[in-house]
Structure 1
């Protein structure tokens, strides 16, 4: 009674009070609920019945991420309009009983430019559904179709091409042609300078730590371990720092160096990647801060994959930790173990529960980063080297419960987790993810 009268009982904090509204990782549209999947089927059936407007309404409902509100549609008399977000770009469209059209504004061209027009003409040949266009001084990408051919499958791939290509090309055009001006960017959400400061500092620190670890390894005999370190660094930056614009493309170029098929030895590729990271480390805040912002997406830039691919990647990476464990190099061993899941997170559009589990691993492995961002919910304390095993278990159980309707066989054996070190936790945690069944019912 006294607790109620005087408010002595501590109120339960909301998730927002514990964790700031910061998102991590690339957007994945491989997170549709059973209801959303049904709306896709509704769109297909309604199109076959020639109920084109109703089909589009179901299609946009399927695309809409209710948490992000990334897709919006409205009716204005006989004409209906829609918008959807993709990074720094906003797709706007309209349709009536006969036709549908959509476009994205890329940049403003105040003065006619032959090099710009040549670039766009060349890129036109690589498009399947869309085309580049010029409306007065506005460079744009366009798509249009007749309503009787606007089936959901066609619209999905056409809109994806329109949105993802535009999101990348606007940055590249502005970088390569100084006469172009940015336009239509008011919807981008700027993040606080304090958050940018933390991300910038850890970007520099992680590169420095990785370079220091590489210095201790023979570049020829240990080229495989060095490759793991560099690639996992890239995947970590991509997921936790969430770079956009030029910084993202620089990171993607570094990863591509390793996987491009040529005759170069891995030690040579490692050298190029390391030089690229060291160059990235010299970037000033004035160069990096504009590449850090929050944006909504409607399409993933990667494709889904089979559970076996994920399991094989994790298993292979964990097998390669053995030598480093036995030779007292836990840092490299941990980075290699992280790589197995990080590779999948970077290259594939993973089921949402797998990404949520990866976030738990990141919160343990890089606890200081999350603390400095303002996350008071602590899964691991790097100073005391203590795990919050109860909270980790609760988080995992919550993920399993949230997605069991879509994945009836999903399960995670928390009793198999080991908490004697970050390395043992990482190995046991990723080993369990091998067997997380995300087959749809």
Structure 2
């Protein structure tokens, strides 16, 4: 069973990271490696089983290994490192035990508020726990290998990796004077890329404010919400901020959808206040909130196709309502909101994820052109790169048809008459994808 992405497809090579989780392809031999790991565990070949298992977690960019997992076999022990964003997990395996740990901060830096947070986290975790030694506060897992299997080791390793990454980012955001440890693997973005992202942040804020000014003066809370949320989803997926910006955006979005005590107007005002803080953020401060890193585990649990289809259907119903009531100025924003929302909130298989990314590339041509990608839509001429779009759809779907008998490509069924029609037809085709296995 493919525990990472559930599908394999060779995607167009992206030179930048977008969104959360793994921006890479898993090995085409992932399932075979997973099965070999299972068989080795059954035969009592524990170290070989772990070798196969770690190999199945390896991911690739442009067919080159990302070295997101590094292993070293000794006579009676397998040492390993797993990279997950800001976290590096070190561990070893013997025939009897699995041990792994992640260094978070210096023990001497842990003040009362942070210690309280760490104690609360221990109650929330299933497999991992925090502890401290003379030098560091660390997160660890310790597991017996007597009844080990790929399923039983996957979830503890996933928990320690995701928790260490999230908590290091949280600590960096909430306790800015504390220095995170074990972060030398993080790669700074180039000044040129940071400047592009900073400029687009302000361009999008200006566009947001201009769009808000066109809304009717009464009964516009719903339209404002689409504009504000679309902006935050766009920042998260396209700019991929870390640390404080990521933490704040996540909190704002979560509060918007989950706090039933606030009115839509109050929620919108809270989102607007944060956007105004982003507007005045200096370039130096903005630049400190970004880095590139390797990822091994996706943070979201896999969603069903039915859940995704229901969200698309509900969103298209809202578009029809606005169209019928002659609020046409909000419709393009909702069409861009839909793929951003899905990528943020749902655990996707690589086919759907790749197809949604292609739609986002079509809808945001100036941003991708600034990053030196070939545009899929030419704004000045209001025309589409039809052959390229159809090829991208084929590229996502065709390699998977041998496994999914009813999965059909749809590039030739798209409506290229306008951006709204293209977005509408694209989303409708996504709803019809059939992942029934042979």
Length-normalised TM-score, structure 1: 0.89
The answer to whether the Cα contact below 8 Å between 1:75 and 1:81 also exists between their aligned partners in 2 is: yes
Correspondent of 2:422 among 419, 425, 428: 425
The answer to whether the Cα contact below 8 Å between 2:172 and 2:243 also exists between their aligned partners in 1 is: no
Deviations 1:69-105 (A, max 9, x none): 3122121232211111111111111111222110111
The answer to whether the Cα contact below 8 Å between 2:208 and 2:227 also exists between their aligned partners in 1 is: yes
Distance in 1 (CA, whole Å) between partners of 2:411 and 2:88 is 42
After TM superposition, list the pairs within 5 Å mapping 1:36-75 onto structure 2: 36-67=30-61, 68-75=66-73
Which deviates more, 362-371 or 414-423? 414-423
The answer to whether the Cα contact below 8 Å between 2:128 and 2:139 also exists between their aligned partners in 1 is: yes
Correspondent of 1:23 among 17, 21, 29: 17
* 2:288 paired with 1:294: no
1:348 aligned residue: 346
Deviations 1:270-294 (A, max 9, x none): 2222222222222221222122221
- Aligned-pair CA distance for 1:269: 1.5
The alignment partner of 1:233 has SS state of helix
Correspondent of 2:87 among 71, 86, 89: 89
- Aligned-pair CA distance for 1:326: 5.1
2:7 aligned residue: none
After TM superposition, list the pairs within 5 Å mapping 1:252-263 onto structure 2: 252-263=250-261
Deviations 1:57-79 (A, max 9, x none): 22212222143331221212322
- Aligned-pair CA distance for 1:110: 4.1
1:249 aligned residue: 247
Distance in 1 (CA, whole Å) between partners of 2:316 and 2:349 is 21
The alignment partner of 2:70 has SS state of strand
* 2:127 paired with 1:129: yes
Distance in 2 (CA, whole Å) between partners of 1:303 and 1:112 is 32
Distance in 2 (CA, whole Å) between partners of 1:126 and 1:413 is 44
Distance in 2 (CA, whole Å) between partners of 1:148 and 1:59 is 16
Which deviates more, 65-74 or 80-89? 65-74
Deviations 1:42-70 (A, max 9, x none): 33333233322222122212222143331
- Aligned-pair CA distance for 1:325: 3.7
Length-normalised TM-score, structure 2: 0.89
Which deviates more, 348-357 or 28-37? 28-37
Query: Over aligned residue pairs, what C-alpha RMSD do you find?
Result: 2.6
Residue 318 to residue 337, structure 1, CA distance change in 2 (3 Å): farther
The alignment partner of 2:302 has SS state of coil
After TM superposition, list the pairs within 5 Å mapping 1:146-295 onto structure 2: 146-177=144-175, 180-218=178-216, 221-295=219-293
- Aligned-pair CA distance for 1:178: 5.4
* 2:395 paired with 1:390: no
Unaligned runs of 5+ in 2: 1-9
Deviations 1:372-396 (A, max 9, x none): 1111x22111112121111111111
Distance in 2 (CA, whole Å) between partners of 1:218 and 1:249 is 32
2:412 aligned residue: 415
Correspondent of 1:339 among 327, 337, 340: 337
Runs (4 or more) in structure 1 with deviation over 6 Å come to: none
Which deviates more, 398-407 or 246-255? 398-407
1:6 aligned residue: none
The alignment partner of 2:236 has SS state of helix
Which deviates more, 163-172 or 336-345? 336-345
Unaligned runs of 5+ in 1: 1-14
Distance in 2 (CA, whole Å) between partners of 1:202 and 1:354 is 26
Deviations 1:256-276 (A, max 9, x none): 122114232222222222222
- Aligned-pair CA distance for 1:363: 1.5
Residue 49 to residue 418, structure 1, CA distance change in 2 (3 Å): same
- Aligned-pair CA distance for 1:407: 3.1
Residue 147 to residue 429, structure 1, CA distance change in 2 (3 Å): same
Distance in 2 (CA, whole Å) between partners of 1:112 and 1:72 is 30
The alignment partner of 1:91 has SS state of strand
Which deviates more, 217-226 or 381-390? 217-226
The answer to whether the Cα contact below 8 Å between 1:305 and 1:349 also exists between their aligned partners in 2 is: yes
Residue 282 to residue 142, structure 1, CA distance change in 2 (3 Å): same
The alignment partner of 2:167 has SS state of helix
Distance in 1 (CA, whole Å) between partners of 2:232 and 2:179 is 30
Which deviates more, 363-372 or 227-236? 227-236
- Aligned-pair CA distance for 1:137: 2.1
Residue 254 to residue 177, structure 1, CA distance change in 2 (3 Å): closer
